Amino acid sequence: MAELSVLDLAPVVQGATPGDALRNSRDLARHVERLGYKRFWLAEHHNMVGIASAATAVAIGYVAGGTSTIRVGSGGIMLPNHAPMVIAEQFGTLEELYPGRIDLGMGRAPGTDQRTLRALRVDPMEADNFPQDVLEVQAFLAPAQPGQAIQAVPGAGTNVPIWILGSSLFGAQLAAMLGLPYAFASHFAPDALMQALEVYRAKFAPSEQLDKPYTMAGINVIAAETDAEARRLFTSSQQQRANMFRGTRGQLAPPIDDIETYWTPSEKIQAERTLTYSFVGSAETVRRGLEHFIANTRVDELMVVAAIYDHRARLRSYEILAEVAKSLKSQKAVA
């Protein structure tokens, strides 16, 4: 059984505030820490009223300060939006405050639209520098060399573990070349998952950080006591996807009884494609789906997203998933 982790976008639900969302994120992190999840990641997005994790390093510090053992990190930092030294300083600071618990996952997507990029003072061509920027961050986090004129303080010598995030073959190739762990965003961009994993494993070169390939896949899991209840909870995610295609991103909506009355046939096709790797249902339904997914992908870790409107239902979904994981581990041990 693959390790279980959480990707939380600090969703702002309708009728709530970003502060509510961040407090719920910390509460969720405490909850999954008790359940034995390995890590809790937050992601950088900008100009999105339904996501409260824009100041990602700040949110990571808030969550890490409210937990004690679970690893906390970024899934991810959109590196073209930042100077490598600044990221090294931010995550070096986090590592000094919460030693041995911080992860730095980085991607090259902007995490927003072109107009917002201009507000961030970012040149869209900065994405072309992603490989070099990753190396710079890595160098700033490594021990300072004699005579090194520019150091990240804090940062130098912290060796915060770096991950490459991606949804295409580019990230897979870069992670393999640098010998870094690789996380694929299959929870919203599923198409190239299998090919990316194959490329990464085939081209992986060992590094000081990692001696063999290590893979993570993003998935959506909505678990409840019954299949019908889970499917209803899932309609919040489905509405969110349909709204994205309409260009009307907003706060996470409450579930509805019949999603077919909400979206058009074309929106349904697009939404279902992006939600391909979604496991929705009772414990047994989710167990069957995960068993098949893990066998096919052979990933080392699952990064689980659960966009659920009701916070208590979200906590329960992760409880059920932990129970499923325990049963799969027991089943594997007996086999």
The closest of 237, 235, 243, 172 to 201, measured between CA atoms, is 172
Q: How far apart are the C-alpha atoms of 66 and 246, rounded to whole Å?
A: 37
- Report strand pairing: 301-305 vs 162-166: unpaired
- Does residue 63 contact residue 26 with C-beta atoms inside 8 Å? yes
- Class of residue 144 by CB neighbours under 10 A (exposed 0-12, middle 13-18, buried 19+): middle
Mean pLDDT, rounded, for 71-77: 97
Structure-token pair, residue 131? 């490989």
* Sign, Cα dihedral of 320, 323, 324, 325: positive
Q: How many domains in the chain?
A: 1
Tell me what pLDDT residue 335 has.
60
pLDDT in the model for residue 256? 98
78-93 pLDDT, tens digit per residue, is 999 999 999 999 999 9
CA dihedral 87, 158, 172, 273 (to 10 degrees): -60
Q: Mean pLDDT check: name the lowest of 80-84, 115-119, 182-186.
A: 115-119
Cα 7 to the center of its chain, rounded Å: 4
Categorize the per-residue pLDDT at 109 as very low, low, confident or very high, splitting at 50, 70 and 90.
Answer: confident
What's the domain range around 299?
3-334
pLDDT at 126: 75
Dihedral through CA 73, CA 75, CA 81, CA 84, nearest 10?
50
Q: What does pTM read for this prediction?
A: 0.95
What is the model's pLDDT at position 119?
82
Answer yes or no: are the C-beta atoms of 239 and 256 closer than 8 Å: yes
Per-residue pLDDT at 1:
79
Confidence band, pLDDT 50/70/90 cuts, at residue 334: low
CATH of the domain at 95: 3.20.20.30
Computed over every residue of the chain, the mean pLDDT equals: 95
What letters, b where the CB count within 10 A reaches 16 and e where it falls short, cover 76-113? bbbbbbbebbebbbbbbbbbeebeebbbbbbbbbbbbe
On the question of pLDDT at 127 being above 90, the answer is no
Instruction: Render pLDDT for 33-49 as a digit per residue (tens, 0 to 9).
Output: 999 999 999 999 999 99
pLDDT at 232 over 70: yes
104 pLDDT more than 80: yes
Tokens of 125: 């061509």
pLDDT at site 60: 98
pLDDT tens, residue by residue, 235-262: 999 999 999 999 888 999 999 999 999 9
